Structure 1
C-alpha cells in the first residue's frame, strides 16, 4: 500500500538536522525587523539609579519647604500698641481723657492706624482708643497723653512692617519679632 498523502517525514536521527528555510518573500533585510532570540535567559536586573533617588529626595525637601512657606504666609498675628504725645507742658489733668493739641490736633480717639507689610501693601487697619493722661510732671499736671490700639489678624509673612497713624505722612518701621514681642509703640 502506497501512501498518497504527503506527510512530513519525521527526523530519524541520521545525519545533521537543519531547520527548514523560510520562503524568499519572508526574509527581512539586515537591520530591520525583530532581533533574533539567541538566549531565553532574562537579562540581569539593573541596579537602582542613584540619580532618581537623589531627585526624589530633593523634590520632597522642596515640597516641604513650599508647604512650610505657604503655612507661614497664612499665619496671622494681633498687633497691639500705643501712641503717646509728650511735652504738653503739664496741661492735662492726671489720668483724665486727653487728645492732641496744636500741630497734633488731628490725633484723638478714633484716629485710624494702618499697618503695611514690607511690599507696601496695607495688611491691617484699626483706630486709636480714648487717650489717657500720664503721671504728673513737676507742675502736678500731666504732660503726656497715651492712646492704645489693636489691629487683629495681620498676616505674619513679612519680616518688616510700617505703622502709620492718621494723616501723619511718616511711617514707623517695626520688625515682625518686635511687633510679636512688645507691640508697636510710637511717641510724638
Structure 2
C-alpha cells in the first residue's frame, strides 16, 4: 500500500522499483477522467410493476423530491409538502386535532393531513368527499373505478388494499364489518 501511494505521489519510478527519481526528469501528475451519460426514464402511469425504485424508473422534479412519483399527490397535497405548503394550498383548516404524541391532523372538507413536526406523514380523503384527485386525475371513491384506473393492487391487508411505487403508497381503507370504503390515503411506504 505504501509503495502504491508513493507511486501515485511520483516518488517511486514504476519501472525501476527503486526510490530514486532523477532530478533531470520532471515528475508530472497524470489524471484519467472517465465519463458516462445517464438518462432518467419517466415512470409510465399505465405500468404495474414490482415496486422498486431504480435510476431507470426515477422521475426527477425541479425540487429533486423522492416523492415526485406515481401515488404522490392526493387532493393537491404531496408528502413532500410542509405544513406551510398545506396552509398556502388549502388555507386555514376547519379543525386541528392533536394526539397524545403531539402530532397534528389538519382537517379540511375534502382531505385530512397528518403532521409530525413540519412534515406530512399521511394524506387522507374520507369516503364522504365522494371524489379524489390523484396525481392530477380525478376519480370517484368507488372500488370498481379505482381498480379500473389503477389496475390490480400491489398489496392487500385486512383493512384495505393499495398501490406502491416503493417510496409512497396509496391505500384504499375498508370498513371491516361492511367492506365499504372508509378513505383513500397516501403515506410513506417505507414507514409501514
TM-score normalised to the size of structure 1? Answer: 0.22
Greater RCO, CA 8 A, separation 6+: 1
- Between structure 1 and structure 2, the one with the greater Rg is 1
Which structure: greater helix fraction? 1
TM-score normalised to the size of structure 2? Answer: 0.22
